[in-house]
Amino acid sequence: MYTKSLLVATFLVLGATVAITSECKMIWIFGIPCRDVYVTLVTQIKNWRNVGSCITGSQSCLYELVSTTPYVIKAKHTSPRTKFSNTFLIIFNPAEEATMCRVTGDSISDFFVDPVDSDINYCSLQNLIDGSGLSKVDGYKHFTNEYICVESHAPNCTIG
């Protein structure tokens, strides 16, 4: 009986944890080669790695480059206000033409939703694109919706 109760309690806890974990998926298209996008994003993550790059109220800091491969960047962002973090993957899908690049971003909260930074997954990804200047390149397009990125309907992503 004890084992059955323990299993039920474990499933309830795991279910509650999954229910309050936040995730965001986004797609970007850039009118420049993927190599340029890749280098720009890795450079921006490195530039925003320490707390010294924070401006009061800004989220443009505490990024950490976890790993890279030719078509994948794995990184982490920690909120300077709450210290909650999220991990994200940026996956490159080079188009047939060398002048276009399709990129997918997938961010998930590490553990649970941060009630103060409820849009942290969306903002961690989009601030990186905006802060690096990639949102201003020719051919830039951005796709997401509230079903694949719950925070995308009204984000507050001040990058300072």
- Asked if the model's pLDDT at residue 116 lies above 60, the reply is no
Range in 51-55, 112-116, 120-124, 133-137 the model is least confident about: 112-116
Q: Residue 129 domain-assigned?
A: yes
Q: What is the mean pLDDT of residues 4-26?
A: 52
Q: Residue 15 domain-assigned?
A: no
pTM: 0.80
Q: Residue 13 domain-assigned?
A: no
What CATH number did the domain enclosing 58 receive?
3.30.530.20
Domains: count for the chain: 1
**What's the pLDDT band for 154 if we cut at 50, 70, 90?**
low
Q: What is the pLDDT of residue 33?
A: 92
Q: Residue 159 domain-assigned?
A: no
Q: What is the distance between the alpha carbons of residues 145 and 55, in angstroms, rounded to a whole number?
A: 29
Domain ranges, residue 120 = 22-143
The continuous run of DSSP H or E covering 93 comes out as strand 85-94
- Asked if the model's pLDDT at residue 8 lies above 50, the reply is no
Q: Residue 45 domain-assigned?
A: yes
